[in-house]
Amino acid sequence: MSNEPNQAVSPLRMRMIEDMRMRKMEPKTQEAYIRGIRRLAKHLGHSPDTATAEDLRRFQLHLVEAGVSPITLNSTLTAIRFLFQITLDRPEVVVKLRQVRPAQTHDPKYPVGHPG
């Protein structure tokens, strides 16, 4: 997994990367998780390790209001869950985070391509 040149890796990021590697997560998944956590940290203005459940709720609302796609939103929420449940061992902070459903693009009564 590559990091930006000349950028020091924080102990928290290193720990999260190690946790992902221990679970044999794919490099692209690791990159997506790091990107999501970086976005959270930027929103918070500090390291996410001290974030509260309310901070995470406000961040999710921020993403929705910014028009982030459901797929990106869900990927970011999964990364946040991983950080708090696995790396930080603070599962209580993410208990109320919920995935969103992508909009339906076809009538579920019919298979894709059916004229119904």
**Confidence (pLDDT) at 62:** 97
Task: Tell me how many domains the chain contains.
Answer: 1
For residue 12, is pLDDT > 50? Answer: yes
- CATH number for position 23: 1.10.150.130
Q: What is the pTM of this model?
A: 0.81
For residue 19, is pLDDT > 60? Answer: yes
Q: How confident is the model over 74-79, as a mean pLDDT? A: 97
Domain residues for 41? 11-94
Tokens found for residue 94:
């993410």
User: Is 33 inside a domain boundary?
Assistant: yes
Residue 3 confidence class, pLDDT cut points 50, 70, 90: very low
Identity of residue 113: G
Residue 48 confidence class, pLDDT cut points 50, 70, 90: very high
The answer to whether 83 touches 16, Cβ cutoff 8 Å, is yes
User: Is 83 inside a domain boundary?
Assistant: yes
* SS3 at position 19: helix
Nearest CA to 49 among 7, 21, 83, 14? 83
User: Is 62 inside a domain boundary?
Assistant: yes
User: Is 39 inside a domain boundary?
Assistant: yes
In sequence order, what DSSP letters do the residues of 47-68 get, joined into one string?
A: -GGG--HHHHHHHHHHHHHTT-
User: Is 107 inside a domain boundary?
Assistant: no
User: Is 1 inside a domain boundary?
Assistant: no
User: Is 44 inside a domain boundary?
Assistant: yes
User: Is 110 inside a domain boundary?
Assistant: no
Nearest CA to 40 among 29, 52, 28, 30? 52
**Cα dihedral sign for 20, 12, 90, 48?**
negative
